[in-house]
Amino acid sequence: MLPKLYIIVPCYNEEEVLPVTAPLFLGKIRELAERGKIAEGSRVLFVNDGSSDSTWEIIKDLSRQNEVFLGISQSRNRGHQNAVLAGLMEAKDLCDITISIDADGQDDINAMDAMVDAYLDGCEVVYGVRSSRETDTFFKRFTAQSFYKFLAFLGAEVVYNHADYRLISARVLREFANFGEVNLFLRGLVPLVGFKSTTVEYVRHERLAGSSHYPLKKMVGLAVDGVTSLSIKPLQLIMSFGIFVAAVSFIGCIWALVTALCGKAVAGWASMTCIICFVSGVQLISLGIIGEYIGKIYLESKHRPRYIISERTYQPENEKNERA
Residue 273 binding result from ligand UDP, Mg ion, none, given CB thresholds of 5 to 8 Å by partner type: none
255 binds ligand UDP (CB under 6 A): no
**Which residues is 296 bridged to in the sheet?**
none
Query: Using the 8-state DSSP alphabet, how is residue 264 labeled?
Result: -
Residue 161 as a binder of ligand UDP (CB under 6 A): the answer is no
Q: Which 193-252 residues touch Mg ion, going by CB under 5 A?
A: none
Q: Whose CA is closest to 312, among 72, 90, 59, 12? A: 72
* Binding status of residue 106 toward Mg ion by CB under 5 A: yes
Of 104, 108, 124, 164, which one interacts with Mg ion (CB under 5 A)? 104
Instruction: Name the minimum Å distance from CB 139 to ligand UDP.
Output: 15
The residue (of 37 and 78) whose beta carbon lies closer to ligand UDP is 78
- Do the strands 197-202 and 125-130 form a parallel or antiparallel pair, or are they unpaired? parallel
The DSSP string of 82-145 is HHHHHHHHHHTTT-SEEEE--TTS-B-TTHHHHHHHHHHTT-SEEEEEE---TTS-HHHHHHHH
Residue 102 contacts ligand UDP per CB under 6 A: yes
Binding of residue 74 to Mg ion (CB under 5 A): no
What H or E segment, with its residue span, contains residue 298?
helix 269-301
Where does this chain touch Mg ion (CB under 5 A) — which range of 70-78, 95-103, 228-236, 290-298?
95-103
- The minimum distance between CB 170 and Mg ion, in angstroms, equals 26
Per CB under 6 A, does 11 bind ligand UDP? yes
Contact in structure between 87 and 102 (CB atoms under 8 Å): no
Binding site for ligand UDP (CB under 6 A): 10-12, 14, 49, 77, 79-80, 83, 102-104, 106, 212-214
